[in-house]
């Protein structure tokens, strides 16, 4: 049935099609260009699943093993593809299981639409079986949410949901649909949403602010750029590169900004933040102009705000007005889409090299290399390090892999040492720090970018939080590569216990199962590496595999991640050991 | 440390069931107490107006207004100090009817406070008083010794002295 291209005008002339609310949901998804949805069926969403069955050739539904996995998979899909991820669940527990992923998408600005089934309208508020107030529960962690109680609302609300999820600063939207609305028949017509009167997706760029910013940049002696995920979400990678190169400004990135500029770019000076690089953290407090591009001054980036970049004029390029002056005062706030802003800025900035200033970054990099990086990537001790595993992945994948990391020590190591040639290659849970994110997110990432190599890098703790998604990998035959860096500890918490709690290792030691046997139980090829001499071959074998592959690497149990800015300390107080 | 002051936040929004929850959550998350809250229609058709009074720093108020304005169904939000607004509250006092005849002073209190008797029944009568918080508090203290059967005070309602450019925003959208 060709409803996909149905126009409102046509429907008024008599081509309106009378369909059920459930079928309408499918047509809305198809009209929005959705090809894959992740979810888990249940009573209150059965009419929609019945339609998914009928439309299975047009819309691929991936059955995850838990609803949380569906959200993370949708996030992984969205983050690599730039499209909206879709997750579905039934009412009650199905819906509440989505919450972690929704909160993750909210804080990391990931476009996602979640569709939940709900008990029939006449049962609302009666404590019916699997009834829960998911709209109330999800309100603080959604960009928008809505409960549909009659079928005729579906087209308009679904159109709004997709528009809100992907426009402006993206985020998650939850649409709860009562069962009666799924069954009801109505005259379907679909029109994409392009504007909402109470919502400004993109503030207009003010030319005067661009001019002010350009003036400060041109007069700066020690300018520094910190870019964030806004560059990737705003598709402004080329503009960032052009700006960095023309103005000759050292550029650092937040964890979610990684890969927007190739790792090997000479002006890429590394990651800022708690476990970021030494030079950009220290020099944040020495630069004279700090140019923040699509980032939000998270506390893990700034450390103590009262000592953060106080000497610098701060230029804040930002799409979300609520972020301006939220954490760091902006001397020049440049509201608007960062791509448009950079396009306007570029002709106004002077060509420059800032060589002496850049040499300060190089000198500090050398210090970090000698004291930290060398030992992480080329260790001389017996035990394997997480860093050398990441380096082997870099080599085996020619720096072209999408690295999906979980949360903890391995995440920091992965983000520090993974090398990226291509944008949208670093998928991780940044703001929420959701353990269990990586495995399902990697499934979505591989489906969103099937031509790319996708490697999930997970700790032994986080892996076991969503380990059941191995079932999804097996059933859906998703060729993701899984690397578990096993130190038999919840490593990051253990590190803090060592540094700040006198080595009282409260509940951080893990007695782990036979991971290889578990993977093999799901018919996934699996290998365990305990010695350095076996690492390179194993990583190459994993990357070369056309199918899913599980690699467990037993790493040093009590290694720590450095550099480190202790919580509440200044970026100037970054520690190398 | 910036001092706490009273701010009136005015929020123009679409009339949506979930929005009150969304807005109150913004205060909850930051442990900021809502002193009073009033929701009504506004001067524009189909646009609701929230009037929220908070006692906090201007910086927090500014950030909260930013977060409120970020909500999809919020058209525009503003904040004002007391000096920048005309505001009042309404109160109702329910008092036993016999007191009106037995205690002559009550009639004087009603007159002196420029309040109205809105209804009288054999059992009770109801006084309505509009005014600033302290005027209502003052009247409450005056009536208290005689026995108040019920008392209720509304949230603040206010209009700003300066213009809130809301109609223009909506016109722009229609163009």
A499-548 confidence digits (pLDDT tens)? 999 999 999 999 999 999 999 999 999 999 999 999 999 999 999 999 99
Q: Is A164 on the interface with B (CB under 8 A)?
A: yes
pLDDT tens column, A199-214: 999 999 999 999 999 9
Is the Cβ pair A325, B62 closer than 8 Å?
yes
Which residue in the set A140, A164, A322 is minimally distant from B25, CB to CB? A140
Is the Cβ pair B18, A322 closer than 8 Å?
no
Q: Is A143 on the interface with B (CB under 8 A)?
A: yes
pLDDT tens column, A77-99: 999 999 999 999 999 999 999 99
From-to residues of CATH 3.30.70.260 in chain B? 5-86+157-174
Residue A327 has pLDDT above 60, yes or no: yes
Q: Is A340 on the interface with B (CB under 8 A)?
A: no
Both tokens assigned to A303: 């450390």
Which residue in the set A139, A195, A198 is minimally distant from B21, CB to CB? A139
Residue A547 contacts residue A478 (beta carbons within 8 Å): no
Residue A352 has pLDDT above 50, yes or no: yes
Residue A11 has pLDDT above 60, yes or no: no
* The pLDDT of residue B101: 85
C-alpha to C-alpha distances, A470 to A70, A467, A483, A515, B97, nearest whole angstrom? 13, 6, 13, 11, 76
Beta bridge pairs of residue A527? A551
From-to residues of CATH 3.30.70.1150 in chain B? 87-153
Residue B47 has pLDDT above 60, yes or no: yes
Residue A186 has pLDDT above 70, yes or no: yes
Q: Is B165 on the interface with A (CB under 8 A)?
A: no
Is the Cβ pair A199, B72 closer than 8 Å?
yes
From CA A338, how far away is CA A344, in angstroms rounded? 10
Summarize the confidence of residues A64-85 as an average pLDDT: 98
| Alpha carbon of A324: minimum distance to chain B alpha carbons (Å) | 9
3-state SS class at A167: coil
pLDDT tens column, B125-171: 999 999 999 999 999 999 999 999 999 999 999 999 998 877 777 77
Task: Indicate the average pLDDT of chain B.
Answer: 93
Summarize the confidence of residues A113-118 as an average pLDDT: 98
- Exposure string (b/e) for A359-395, b if CB count within 10 Å is 16 or more? ebbeebbeebeeebbebbbebeeeebbbbbbbbbbbe
Is the Cβ pair B18, A139 closer than 8 Å?
yes
Residue A136 contacts residue B21 (beta carbons within 8 Å): yes
Residue A25 has pLDDT above 80, yes or no: yes
Which residue in the set B13, B22, B70 is minimally distant from A320, CB to CB? B70
pLDDT tens column, A288-323: 999 999 999 999 999 999 999 999 999 999 999 999
Give residue for tokens 């997970």. A458
Chain A contact set for B70 (CB, 8 A): 320-322
Superfamily of segment(s) B5-86+157-174: ACT domain (3.30.70.260)
| Alpha carbon of A138: minimum distance to chain B alpha carbons (Å) | 10
pLDDT tens column, B52-87: 999 999 999 999 999 999 999 999 999 999 999 999
From CA A364, how far away is CA A357, in angstroms rounded? 11
Report the topology of domain B87-153.
Alpha-Beta Plaits (3.30.70)
* The pLDDT of residue A516: 98
Is the Cβ pair A322, B22 closer than 8 Å?
no
* Bond prior to A563 in cis (omega within 30° of 0): yes
Rg (CA), chain A: 24
From CA A325, how far away is CA A503, in angstroms rounded? 39
Summarize the confidence of residues A8-25 as an average pLDDT: 71
Is the Cβ pair B29, A140 closer than 8 Å?
yes
C-alpha to C-alpha distances, B145 to A236, A302, A514, B139, nearest whole angstrom? 71, 58, 78, 11
CB burial of residue B103 (10 Å; 0-12, 13-18, 19+): middle
Question: Residues 234..273 of A with a Cβ closer than 8 Å to B: which?
Answer: none
| Alpha carbon of B156: minimum distance to chain A alpha carbons (Å) | 25
Q: Is A206 on the interface with B (CB under 8 A)?
A: no
Is the Cβ pair A140, B62 closer than 8 Å?
no
Residue A253 has pLDDT above 80, yes or no: yes
Residue A480 contacts residue A454 (beta carbons within 8 Å): yes
| Alpha carbon of A329: minimum distance to chain B alpha carbons (Å) | 11
Catalytic site positions of A = 67, 129-130, 179, 492
* The pLDDT of residue B163: 87
Residue B99 has pLDDT above 50, yes or no: yes
- Exposure string (b/e) for A293-327, b if CB count within 10 Å is 16 or more? bbbbbbebbbbbeeebbeebbbbbbbbbbbbbbbe
* The pLDDT of residue B174: 63
Is the Cβ pair B25, A164 closer than 8 Å?
no
Residue A336 has pLDDT above 60, yes or no: yes
CB burial of residue A544 (10 Å; 0-12, 13-18, 19+): exposed
Is the Cβ pair B72, A140 closer than 8 Å?
no
Summarize the confidence of residues B18-23 as an average pLDDT: 94
Q: Is A145 on the interface with B (CB under 8 A)?
A: yes
Q: Is B164 on the interface with A (CB under 8 A)?
A: no
Count of pairs with CB atoms under 8 A, one residue in A, one in B: 43
Q: Is B13 on the interface with A (CB under 8 A)?
A: yes
Task: Indicate the average pLDDT of chain A.
Answer: 96
Is the Cβ pair B21, A199 closer than 8 Å?
no
Q: Is B74 on the interface with A (CB under 8 A)?
A: yes
Q: Is B5 on the interface with A (CB under 8 A)?
A: no
| Alpha carbon of B75: minimum distance to chain A alpha carbons (Å) | 4
Residue A468 has pLDDT above 70, yes or no: yes
Summarize the confidence of residues A449-467 as an average pLDDT: 98
Q: Is B22 on the interface with A (CB under 8 A)?
A: yes
Both tokens assigned to A413: 């190591």
Closest chain B residue to the Cα of A167, Cα to Cα: B72
């Amino acid at each position: 049935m060709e409803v996909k291209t149905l126009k409102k005008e046509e429907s008024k002339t008599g081509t309106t099609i009378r369909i059920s609310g459930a079928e309408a949901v499918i047509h809305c998804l198809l009209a929005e260009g959705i090809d894959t949805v992740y979810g888990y069926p249940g009573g209150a969403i059965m009419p929609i699943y019945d339609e998914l069955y009928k439309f299975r050739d047009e819309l691929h539904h991936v059955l995850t093993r838990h609803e949380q996995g569906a959200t993370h998979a949708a996030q992984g899909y969205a983050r690599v593809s730039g499209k909206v991820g879709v997750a579905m669940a039934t009412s009650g527990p199905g819906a509440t299981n989505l919450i972690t992923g929704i909160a993750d998408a909210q804080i990391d600005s990931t476009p996602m639409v979640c569709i939940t089934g709900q008990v029939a309208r006449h049962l609302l508020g009666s404590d019916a079986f699997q009834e829960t107030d998911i709209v109330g529960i999800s309100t603080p962690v959604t960009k928008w949410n809505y409960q549909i109680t009659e079928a005729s609302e579906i087209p308009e609300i679904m159109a709004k949901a997709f528009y809100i999820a992907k426009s402006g600063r993206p985020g998650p939207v939850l649409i709860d649909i009562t069962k009666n609305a799924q069954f009801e028949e109505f005259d379907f017509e679909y029109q994409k949403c392009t504007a909402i009167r109470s919502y400004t997706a993109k503030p207009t760029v003010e030319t005067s602010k661009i001019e002010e910013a350009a003036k400060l940049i041109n007069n700066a002696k020690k300018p520094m750029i910190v870019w964030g995920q806004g560059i990737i979400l705003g598709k402004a990678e080329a503009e960032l590169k052009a700006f960095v190169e023309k103005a000759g400004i050292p550029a650092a990135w937040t964890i979610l900004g990684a890969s927007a500029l190739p790792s090997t770019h000479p002006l890429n000076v590394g990651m800022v933040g708690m476990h970021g690089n030494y030079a950009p953290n220290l020099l944040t407090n020495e630069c004279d102009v700090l140019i923040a591009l699509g980032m939000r001054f998270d506390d893990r980036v700034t450390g103590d705000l009262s000592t953060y970049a106080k000497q610098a004029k701060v230029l804040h390029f930002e799409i979300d007005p609520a972020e301006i002056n939220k954490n760091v005062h902006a001397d020049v706030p440049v509201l608007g889409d960062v791509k448009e802003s950079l396009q306007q800025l570029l002709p106004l900035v002077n060509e420059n090299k800032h060589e002496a200033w850049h040499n300060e970054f190089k000198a500090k990099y050398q210090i970090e290399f000698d004291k930290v990086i060398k030992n992480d990537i080329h260790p001389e001790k017996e035990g394997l390090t997480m860093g050398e595993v990441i380096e082997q992945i870099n080599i085996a994948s020619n720096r072209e892999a999408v690295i999906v990391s979980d949360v903890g020590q391995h995440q920091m190591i992965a983000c520090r040492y993974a090398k990226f040639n291509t944008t949208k290659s670093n998928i991780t849970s940044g703001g929420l720090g959701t353990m269990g994110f990586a495995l399902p997110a990697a499934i979505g990432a591989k489906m969103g970018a099937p031509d790319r190599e996708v490697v999930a890098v997970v700790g032994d703790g986080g892996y076991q939080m969503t380990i059941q998604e191995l079932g999804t990998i097996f059933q859906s035959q998703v060729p993701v590569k899984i690397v578990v860096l096993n130190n038999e500890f919840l490593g990051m918490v253990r590190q803090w216990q060592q540094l700040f709690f006198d080595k009282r290792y409260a509940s951080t030691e893990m007695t782990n199962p036979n991971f290889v046997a578990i993977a093999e139980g799901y018919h996934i090829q699996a290998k365990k590496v305990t010695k350095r001499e076996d690492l390179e071959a194993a990583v190459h074998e994993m990357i070369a595999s056309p199918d899913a592959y599980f690699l467990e690497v037993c790493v040093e149990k009590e290694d720590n991640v450095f550099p480190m800015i202790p919580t509440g300390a200044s970026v100037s107080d970054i520690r190398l050991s | 440390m910036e001092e706490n002051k009273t701010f009136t936040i005015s929020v123009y929004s679409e009339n949506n069931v979930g929005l009150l929850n969304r807005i109150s959550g913004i205060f909850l998350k930051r442990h900021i107490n809502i002193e009073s809250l009033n929701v009504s229609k506004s001067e524009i058709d189909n646009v609701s107006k929230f009037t929220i009074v908070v006692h906090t720093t201007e910086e927090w108020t500014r950030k909260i207004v930013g977060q409120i304005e970020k909500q999809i169904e919020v058209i525009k939000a503003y904040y004002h100090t007391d000096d920048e607004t005309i505001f009042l509250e309404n109160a109702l006092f329910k008092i036993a009817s016999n007191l009106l005849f037995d205690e002559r002073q009550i009639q004087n209190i009603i007159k002196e406070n420029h309040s109205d008797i809105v209804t009288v029944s054999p059992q009770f009568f109801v006084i309505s008083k509009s005014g600033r918080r302290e005027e209502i508090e003052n009247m409450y203290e005056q009536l208290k010794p005689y026995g108040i059967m019920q008392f209720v005070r509304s949230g603040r309602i206010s209009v700003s002295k300066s213009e809130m450019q809301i109609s223009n925003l909506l016109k722009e959208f229609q163009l």
